[in-house]
Every structure is written in C-alpha cells, then in structure tokens.
Structure 1
C-alpha cells in the first residue's frame, strides 16, 4: 500500500497543478482535500469508510505539502 499511496499523492498533486490554471491558488488545498478523500475511499484498500476518509486526508495533506515545497522552491529560484 505504501507505493500506491505515494503514487496517488503524486497524481493528486499533478491534478492540483493542472487545476491551478483554472482556479485561484487559494482553492488548491480544497481541491486536493476532496480528491484525497475520494481516492482514499474509492482507490486505496481500507476496512471501512472512516479508514478511507483518514487515508484520504493523509494523502491530501501530503499532496499539499508537496505543493507548498514546490511553490517555495519556485519562488526562491532553486
């Protein structure tokens, strides 16, 4: 499951980057949260709806962290 979760977090981040062209950047965390919860419930194996939601929140927070790191690196010119 570790590789699946990492892959899903990367896909969520990629979709968020794509959506950034159509929505303001302040809504990107909301988009990643919704995508993460949906992916946690539908895609990742879990034992119940609560586990799926928790996995989705973790995925969304991971994707948001990756988004913030890339934004920070881009602004510093690294």
Structure 2
C-alpha cells in the first residue's frame, strides 16, 4: 500500500509531534509501536510475522533517523 520510506518519515513526524505531549524517553517505544502497526496494516506482507518484522525495521529506522538528525543539529 505505502512505500517503507514514507512510513519511516511519517513515524518520525509523529514522534516529533508526540514530544510535546510525552517525555522524550518514551519516543523510541512509540516509534516501535507505530512501526509494528504500520507493518501490519500499511506495508504489504505475505504473513503476519513478516508484517511485524517489517514494522520493527520501520520503527527502528525512524528511531535511528531521529538520533542522527539530533546529532547533526548544531546550535
């Protein structure tokens, strides 16, 4: 249905939005949960297990992308 790169960008954006409503230490867990949900419902997969693994990869990619962007940001 959607490309994985779009899903990762969407998870990063939702994580940034959630930062104003929850503590920063819960953002990676939220990214993983959103990734699994996206893997089950939005990313095409043959089995449920494949959907979960694809979602975990999307959530972890979103966490890594957020961490890299945080370390590059110069104040």
TM range (shorter): over 0.9
User: In 1, Cα distance between the equivalents of 2:30 and 2:72?
Assistant: 21
Question: Which runs of 4 or more aligned residues in structure 1 lie more than 2 Å from their structure 2 counterparts after TM superposition?
Answer: none
What TM-score do you get using the length of structure 2 for normalisation?
0.93
User: In 1, Cα distance between the equivalents of 2:36 and 2:58?
Assistant: 8
- Structure 2 unaligned blocks of 5 or more: none
What TM-score do you get using the length of structure 1 for normalisation?
0.90
* Aligned residue runs from structure 1 range 57-68, under 5 A: 57-68=56-67
Aligned length in residues? 75
User: In 1, Cα distance between the equivalents of 2:30 and 2:69?
Assistant: 17
Superposition CA RMSD, Å: 1.5
Greater helix share, structure number: 1
Instruction: Tell me if 1:20 matches 2:14.
Output: no
| 1:20 positional shift | 0.7
